[in-house]
Amino acid sequence: MKFKLLFILSFIFFVQINAQSYIFGKISSEDLTEVPSVTVINMRTNEQVLTNRDGHFMVSGREGDILRFFKSGYDRIDRKVSKENVESPMNVQLTRAAQLIAEVEIKKGLSGDLKIDSKTLNQPAKVQKLKAEINAYLKQKSDPRILAARPGQFVQPKGQGFSVGKVKNKWDDLDFENYLAYALGEQYFADLKIEKPFINHFIKYVLAGGFERQKILKYGFVSDGDLMRFQNSVLMRISSYRAPQTQK
């Protein structure tokens, strides 16, 4: 009788320990605005979900699990699931990543004072000559080897620009693959359990699933929206991907 009772208690304890539970939560920005399409990954189970348009998410987990939150344009954050997070929603706040602001040149306008404006507009002959020589020097073509990127360095163009007539593609698929690997970083693929030698192979696999990139190749430019589209495609293709063990 005692043995039977002990067996029942042990079974109940085992079920409670291994019972499936879910972590609910909401993700907001610094100004308390809901953040949609944030990737949430349970580092123990490797399960991944995206927040809905209201910033809410639900992922299976338990106390002690590590949840990772990341989205393009925001700093990545890890949170350990506590007992309170299992019993009540988890609130997570993301911080926007620091971005460099392009330098803006402010030109001096007319003041309305004839003496001041005459000095600004009618510069001395020596100053005008010096400026003319500098402009002539800047117009000279530089040696391409000076401006070329260093081996292994990838340079993202500043924008789409403007062109007249038929536009020739600035990129091919290999350029796009290299940029994705550079922009997302090795840690992003490591979190997906993609080993470094197979990063480009995995990117090719995702692109082969019908990822629209005609405009990207045409202008050689990737927007934040394009990166988000690619990450969504990754989530849909990762489960069917099997990295080869040997590379021919």
Decide if pLDDT at 103 tops 70.
Answer: no
Decide if pLDDT at 89 tops 50.
Answer: yes
Interatomic CA distance for residues 72 and 159, integer angstroms: 18
If we measure between CA atoms, which residue out of 232, 27, 169 comes closest to residue 224? 232
Average per-residue pLDDT in the chain?
78
pLDDT of residue 123: 65
Q: How confident is the model at residue 35 (pLDDT cuts 50, 70, 90)?
A: very high
80 lies in which domain range? 22-93
pLDDT tens profile 122-177: 666 766 777 777 777 666 655 555 455 555 555 555 555 454 555 578 899 988 99
If we measure between CA atoms, which residue out of 194, 157, 172, 180 comes closest to residue 229? 180
Interatomic CA distance for residues 45 and 61, integer angstroms: 8
Helix 224-237 vs helix 199-207: angle between axes, to the nearest 10 degrees? 90
If we measure between CA atoms, which residue out of 48, 23, 2, 31 comes closest to residue 232? 48
Q: Which residue has the higher pLDDT, 101 or 135?
A: 135
Last residue of a domain, one of 40, 58, 93: 93
Question: pTM of the predicted model, to two decimals?
Answer: 0.38
DSSP secondary structure letter of residue 193? T
Q: Is residue 127 part of a domain?
A: no
Q: Is residue 161 part of a domain?
A: no
Tally of structural domains, the chain? 2
Interatomic CA distance for residues 248 and 235, integer angstroms: 27
Cβ–Cβ under 8 Å, residues 27 and 70: no
Q: Is residue 106 part of a domain?
A: no
pLDDT of residue 245: 44
Interatomic CA distance for residues 245 and 248, integer angstroms: 10
Largest CA distance in the chain: 111
How does strand 90-93 pair with strand 22-28?
parallel
Q: Is residue 230 part of a domain?
A: yes
Q: Is residue 149 part of a domain?
A: no
Q: Is 79 left (phi over 0), alpha (psi -120 to 50) or beta?
A: beta
Last residue of a domain, one of 93, 118, 135: 93
pLDDT of residue 169: 86
Q: Is the dihedral of CA 222, 223, 225, 231 positive or negative?
A: positive
Q: Is residue 141 part of a domain?
A: no
- What's the CATH code of the domain at 26? 2.60.40.1120
Decide if pLDDT at 221 tops 50.
Answer: yes
Position 38: which residue type?
Answer: V
DSSP H or E stretch at residue 22: strand 22-28
Last residue of a domain, one of 78, 93, 108: 93
The region of weakest confidence among 64-73, 88-97, 239-248 is 239-248
Q: C-alpha dihedral over 70, 51, 45, 13, to 10 degrees?
A: 130
Q: How confident is the model at residue 99 (pLDDT cuts 50, 70, 90)?
A: low
Q: Is residue 140 part of a domain?
A: no
Decide if pLDDT at 236 tops 50.
Answer: yes
Percent of the chain with pLDDT over 90: 38
Q: Is residue 177 part of a domain?
A: yes
